[in-house]
Amino acid sequence: MNTEKITTFGALKEAGYTYKSVKEELRNNLLQKLKEKKPTFEGIHGYEYSVIPELERAILSKHNINLLGLRGQAKTRLARQMVALLDEYIPVVAGSEINDDPFRPISRYAKELMAEKGDQTPIEWLHRNDRFAEKLATPDVTVADLIGDVDPIKAANLKLTYADDRVIHFGMIPRANRCIFVINELPDLQARIQVALFNILQEGDVQIRGFKLRLPLDIQFVFTANPEDYTNRGSIVTPLKDRIGSQILTHYPDTLEIARTITEQETMAAAEQKQHVYIPELAKDILEQISFEARESEFIDAKSGVSARLSISALENLLSTAERRALQSGDEETAVRLGDFMGIIPAITGKVELVYEGEQEGAAQVAEMLISSAIKSQFSNYFPKIEKLRKDSDADPYDELIAWFFEQSGFELLDSYNNTEYHEKLKEVHPLEVLLDTYVPDITLEDRDFFKEFVLWALAEHKKLSRHHLGDGLHFKDVYGGYISGL
């Protein structure tokens, strides 16, 4: 339909336009995408067989939707992507505050204008990108904000009494007529405000300061809520829950691969800016493993969840840590080192809610524990298990490496080392070369130094070596040699 030529109601009728509700638009366009086997929600990973099918069924059923899940589970992103299922343009009565459809005007302004001008009523076209409204529910949100209130300034300017419904100033919901309207964190909305939504959801009645207006609003409501909110801050009142057609549970990524895909997608811009920093594949796996460890940690509140934003912020910090180190050591290019993971601690501490025991340990200490746990979890994918106790007859693949450290006074990996110094320092530890050749012979040259440091960290985590943080790096020592020298 040529939107540029159609500027009046009469031209719109001649063009054969037919009215569709917003839910019908969503349903029809979704059906078309499903028939053509096109993706409906792009850039959403891990929901292909769980959340997205449920969301599609809700749209086909013309339901209002509640997305229920912990923080960082793409709830708002899903809601925003529904805009792509709307028609590209819809006609509205020109000047209407509430996007009146010329075939079904509901406001007094649109009805009077159409009665006066008939087929010459001016028409404007509204693009689908302008048909999304969003409100974060907070305790200070009022009925006036959402539904409307009497405007005394309008009454004075138009010389109207308060008995005239033209003194009404419409709130966000009437102004979102024929749009998708999202209320984030619904339980944070006060119960009396939630009650005000009953009639809008079911009957379409709007009551503003004693005015009972019959406004059959055409809105696709999407609510988001965090299960934690049900107990800690508020709740969704039961009659409102009853009026929401579908409640869909979201979840965190099930596998490391999906989590990595999400993180890489969200940090694409940051990675492009730091193309001179190489990230080993193992470093990406350890980074994602940290979030998985956090979700199982006894020090972190499981009800609050661990957002996917933890991995995103951590990867950005990791790249910046390596970039800063390279600039200070004079390297134009560098690769991420395991020691750089100390630079992601601020990204972790700001993204997790600690329980009492975690508070006692301290946020930074818990973050270090998560990094340590991630290294231990990933180590078993590449190397034999590090046993605390072995029979004398059993050969320990790490004996030679530990013996090498026993003969040294200490081994330092400083942040100030440039690429060459770092490489030569790790090359001094000859048993590391043998370990890598035996168990990971196929790794690339770029990843080799990272794997060497990875082995040293893992041995330190299993108390086979001691590791100390220096101001400018790390110091590794044989655990018994360190004890004896201390004596």
* Residue 4 tokens, joined: 């540029």
Chosen domain end from 332, 350, 379 = 379
Task: Supply the pTM of this predicted model.
Answer: 0.86
Strand partners, 467: 476
In a shared domain, residues 160 and 180 = yes
Residues 6+ apart with CB under 8 A from 20: 28, 87
Mean pLDDT, the chain, whole residue set: 88
The reply to whether 392 falls in a domain is no
Residue 416 shares a structural domain with residue 474: yes
Say which CATH number the domain at 245 has: 3.40.50.300
At 35-86, the pLDDT tens digits run 999 999 998 999 999 999 999 999 999 999 999 999 889 999 999 999 999 9
Alpha helices in 389-464 (DSSP H): 399-406, 419-427, 430-439, 445-461
Does position 295 have pLDDT exceeding 80, yes or no?
A: yes
- Our count of domains for the chain comes to 3
**Are 267 and 240 members of one domain?**
no
Residue 457 placed within a domain: yes
Give bridge partners of residue 150 from the DSSP assignment.
168
Residue 224 lies in a domain: yes
Residue 215 has what pLDDT?
A: 78
Would you state the pLDDT for residue 229? 53
Confidence of residue 274 (pLDDT cuts 50, 70, 90): confident
Identify which of 77-81, 193-197, 215-219 has the greatest average pLDDT. Answer: 77-81
**What's the CATH number where 465 sits?**
1.10.10
Q: Does residue 262 sit in the same domain as residue 239?
A: no
Same domain, 330 and 408: no
More confident residue, 11 or 156: 11
Identify the pLDDT of residue 485: 54
Percent of the chain clearing pLDDT 70 (strictly above): 90
Residue 389 lies in a domain: no
* CA angle, 448 then 430 then 478, to 5°: 105
Q: What is the pLDDT of residue 87?
A: 94
Alpha-carbon radius of gyration of the chain = 30
Q: Distance between CA atoms of 110 and 117, rounded to whole angstroms?
A: 10
Domain that holds residue 269: 256-379
What is the average per-residue pLDDT within 339-353?
93
Residue-wise pLDDT for 90-133, tens only, equals 999 999 999 999 999 988 889 999 999 999 999 999 999 999 99
Residues 170 and 265 in one domain: no
**The pLDDT value given to residue 391:** 60
| Residue 394 is assigned to a structural domain of this protein | no
pLDDT at 275: 87
* pLDDT on residue 168: 76
What CATH number did the domain enclosing 295 receive? 1.10.8.80
Rounded Cα–Cα distance for residues 474 and 483 (Å): 18
Identify whether residues 294 and 320 lie together within a single domain: yes
pLDDT-based confidence at 155, cuts 50/70/90? Answer: low
Mean pLDDT of 414-434: 93
Per the CB < 8 A criterion, the answer to whether 191 and 240 are in contact is no
Judge contact between 124 and 202, C-beta under 8 A: no
134 within some domain: yes
What six digits make up the tokens of 14?
A: 């001649």
| Residues 258-273, mean pLDDT to the nearest whole number | 88
Of 267 and 202, the structure prediction assigns the larger pLDDT to: 267
Choose the final residue of a domain: 218, 249, 280: 249
| Residue 18 shares a structural domain with residue 111 | yes
Mark whether 267 and 165 lie in a shared domain: no
The last residue of a domain, from among 196, 223, 249: 249
Same-domain check for residues 272 and 140: no
pLDDT at 232 > cutoff 60: no
Whether residue 245 is found in the same domain as residue 260 = no
Tokens of 220: 């696709």
**Residue 236: inside a domain, yes or no?**
yes
Residues 152, 204 share a domain: yes
Residue at 1 is within a domain:
no
Count CA atoms within 13 Å of residue 426 on its CB side. Answer: 27
Would you place residue 199 in the very low, low, confident or very high pLDDT band (cuts 50, 70, 90)? confident
